[in-house]
Chains A and B, each alone.
Chain A
Amino acid sequence: QVQLVQSGAEVKKPGASVKVSCKASGYTFTSYAMHWVRQAPGQRLEWMGWINAGNGNTKYSQKFQGRVTITRDTSASTAYMELSSLRSEDTAVYYCARELVAIVVVPAAMDYWGQGTLVTVSS
């Protein structure tokens, strides 16, 4: 069965960076892209970006462009999301979510989701 297991909660100071991991199992990792989505407390879901796990191509939301980097390690079936220059407004639960359709070249939507990783930014 498809599983996405994310790394644990993080507490960071303003200005720091955070890197969240998402280990996939139960399917061929390189056949499906991975999305990253976040949700601040009491707020709506926000799409952050996407990586084609096969060739490493990425697309980012304009809001996070320049601050977010999504990578993957195919040997470990793991995707990563790194967010830099953290501020208090980045306090949120960060989710990875598998692309709905295999072998796509542009983002579509998500089906399976990780459990979420709480990132708290506080001085």
Chain B
Amino acid sequence: SYELTQPPSVSVSPGQTARITCSGDALPKKYAYWYQQKSGQAPVLVIYEDSKRPSGIPERFSGSSSGTMATLTISGAQVEDEADYYCYSTDSSGNHRGVFGTGTKVTVL
């Protein structure tokens, strides 16, 4: 089955830049989406269609995709950005099934 692979954890100091990668064979043909999930809460969409930011999401969140890797960048990370982040996409088999990445814990301290 299709897999999206993320690093388990990323640590940054406040004000620094955090980069989270997501690797998947279908990403050259499929959009990547990014979700932020804080402890005990439902996920929140922070990036859609590789690089678009929903209204209300701070400008420090940005996304890019090249080849088989998508990247979420948090420029000038804040303490409140500490959360789990998941990439999401669909497989390229023609079945269009959704897949979440393995998840990355971002620590800001």
Q: Which residues of A does B touch, CB under 8 Å?
A: 35, 37, 44-47, 50, 59-63, 95, 97, 100, 106-111, 113-116
Contacts and interface: CB of A to CB of B under 8 A. Distances in A.
Contacts of A108: 31, 90
Interface in B66-91: 86, 88, 90
Contact of B100 (A46, A63, A116): A46
B97 A107 contact: yes
Q: How large is the interface on B (under 10, 10 to 19, 20 to 34, 35 or more residues)?
A: 20 to 34
A100 B100 contact: no
Interface string B43-74: 11100100000100000000000000000000
A55 B50 CA distance: 28
A45 B45 contact: no
Given A47-B98, A95-B42, A113-B43, 5 more contacts: A37-B43, A100-B45, A108-B31, A109-B45, A111-B54
Nearest to B96: A106
A62 B2 CA distance: 11
Contacts of A60: 97
Q: Nearest 10 A-B pairs (CB), nearest first?
A: A47-B98, A106-B96, A113-B42, A109-B33, A45-B100, A44-B103, A107-B96, A111-B45, A107-B98, A45-B86
B97 A109 contact: no
Interface of B: 1, 31, 33, 35, 37, 42-45, 48, 54, 86, 88, 90, 95-103
A109 B1 CA distance: 19
Contacts of A115: 42
B96 A44 contact: no
B87 to A, nearest CB: 10
Contacts of B42: 95, 113-116
Contacts of B54: 111
